Homo-oligomer: A and B are copies of this chain.
Amino acid sequence: MADIPTAAISRLVTYLRILETLEAQEIDRTSSSDLAERAGVTAFQVRKDLAYFGRFGTRGMGYTVPLLKRELVRVLGLNQTWNVVIVGMGRLGQAIANYPGASDYRFQYVGLFDVAPELMGREVRGLNIRHMDTLRDFVAAQAQGQQRVDMGFVAVPPDRAQDAAQALVDAGVRGILNFAPIVLQPRTSEMSGQQEIGDEWRGVIVENVDFLAGMKRLAFYILNPHLRVTDTEENE
């Protein structure tokens, strides 16, 4: 398989979102140019992005919305269950736990963690909030019960995000979704040399969701309404 640009993965997610919107509107057929217009890219880009993963649709006939949606769900691994713990159950963690649609995709919250005494034991979506000190044992117990924790969501204040991520990785969680507005560093906090990458971080995948990133991009585009922007990048 050819190298796949990370931006193509982000666009696949956008196409899937568009297909869901079409499905909700009971629109049954689409085309690369229709998808392109809705996603703000070129039709060529849509066809190229999809071609990384197989042959979808019929030349000249476009795509059947439910079929293409099902294929993208499969490509993205959203037809399988993902067990998730959330670290940080303040407003943000609670908003995440209650965000509509996550359960459509079999993201399954199995544990909620925080350190605030007033949150301990509180029930959110049928789970009781637990103390961070119990995270490692919890993840180990889940693994023994064949309910391996696949992802940890970091929803703590920025100054605690690195430690929260480290605790997840130390507990054996291999996928981190970081909601805090900092760039996580795969470094052990215990090492004096900040440049050392901790072994426990090898193979860990970190993705970032940043509220402020969206605000900043929006500020830029409002400030530069006449700037020519493009969705394709030149070759290096």
Query: Chain B interface: which of A17-25, A57-65, A137-145?
Result: A17-25
Most B CB contacts (10 A, CB to CB) among A8, A38, A174, A219 go to A219
Q: Does A51 contact B (CB under 8 A)?
A: no
Q: Does A182 contact B (CB under 8 A)?
A: yes
Closest partner residue, chain B, to A45 (CB atom): B236
Taken together as a complex, chains A and B put the C-alpha atoms of A78 and B6 apart, in Å, by: 27
Query: Chain B interface: which of A112-120, A127-135, A163-171, A210-218?
Result: A210-218
Question: Residues of B contacting A99 with CB < 8 Å?
Answer: 92, 181, 211-212
Q: Does A191 contact B (CB under 8 A)?
A: no
Taken together as a complex, chains A and B put the C-alpha atoms of A3 and B236 apart, in Å, by: 15
Quick check: B211 and A4 within 8 Å, CB to CB? Answer: no
Quick check: B223 and A217 within 8 Å, CB to CB? Answer: no
Most B CB contacts (10 A, CB to CB) among A16, A17, A157 go to A17
Quick check: A231 and B6 within 8 Å, CB to CB? Answer: yes
Most B CB contacts (10 A, CB to CB) among A151, A177, A185, A234 go to A234
Within 8 A of B (CB), among A172-194: 174-177, 181-183, 185, 194
Q: Does A91 contact B (CB under 8 A)?
A: yes
Quick check: A220 and B94 within 8 Å, CB to CB? Answer: no
Quick check: B203 and A225 within 8 Å, CB to CB? Answer: yes
Quick check: A20 and B102 within 8 Å, CB to CB? Answer: no
Question: Residues of B contacting A102 with CB < 8 Å?
Answer: 211-212, 215
Taken together as a complex, chains A and B put the C-alpha atoms of A175 and B17 apart, in Å, by: 21
Question: Residues of B contacting A221 with CB < 8 Å?
Answer: 9, 175, 205, 207
